[in-house]
Structure 1
Amino acid sequence: MIDSDDLMSGEAIIEIVENQLAENNPPRVKETLMRLMLEGVEREEAIQYIACVLCVELLDVLNHQTAFNEQRYNTNLDALPEMPWAEDL
């Protein structure tokens, strides 16, 4: 279980990604991991890329008090390993 105080810690974010993979929810996370690994990215690095995308979504939820935007999450996952949103942070 993830404590709310640790939500934005790197370990907590990685745990969330690993849980998404284990539960195949959303499916795009596992698809992205497989795609990145087929492109030659090591699993650990691919998980870190996915965690970056998750952080973008979580920050938006926290900063704007909005719901998690799965469509945007999927779009950003599809862009990996490029991170076009990084300029906006």
Structure 2
Amino acid sequence: MSEPQDDEEAFAEETLIQAIENQLEAGDPPAAQATLNKLTLVGYEREESIKLMALALAREIRQMLDEDRPFDAEGYETLLRGLPELPE
């Protein structure tokens, strides 16, 4: 049987990946599709690209919660455009 924390992490990852897929489908933000295009162009597989994008989304959500502020769409787009490099 898996550990509860592992289950929670898997659920969080799947939720973030679904959020990225939803952004791509909706075309909003436009930086999502541009980032996916860039990452696949430089050799990342689609699945790996989506996971990197999910990490950027997770970072923005974490900062939003830590700082008790609204979601910063501009900051999130900056994170996306900076991929594959991720800030600490």
- With CA pairs under 8 Å and 6+ residues apart, which has the higher RCO, 1 or 2? 2
Gaps of 5+ in 1: 1-5
Q: Please provide the CA RMSD for this pair.
A: 1.3
The number of residues matched between the two structures is: 79
Q: 2:33 is matched with which residue?
A: 30
Paired position in structure 2 for 1:70: 73
Q: Which amino acid aligns with 2:37?
A: M
> Secondary structure of the residue that 1:40 maps to in structure 2?
coil
Superimposed CA distance per residue, residues 34-57 of structure 1 (whole angstroms, 9 cap, x where no aligned partner): 111011110000000100000011
SS in 1 for 2:85: coil
SS across alignment from 1:9: helix
1:81, distance to aligned residue in structure 2 (A)? 0.5
Quick one: percent identity of the two aligned structures? 37
**Runs (5+) with no aligned partner, structure 2:** 1-7
* Moved beyond 3 Å, runs of 4+: none
What TM-score, normalized by structure 1, do the two folds share? 0.83
Larger radius of gyration: 2
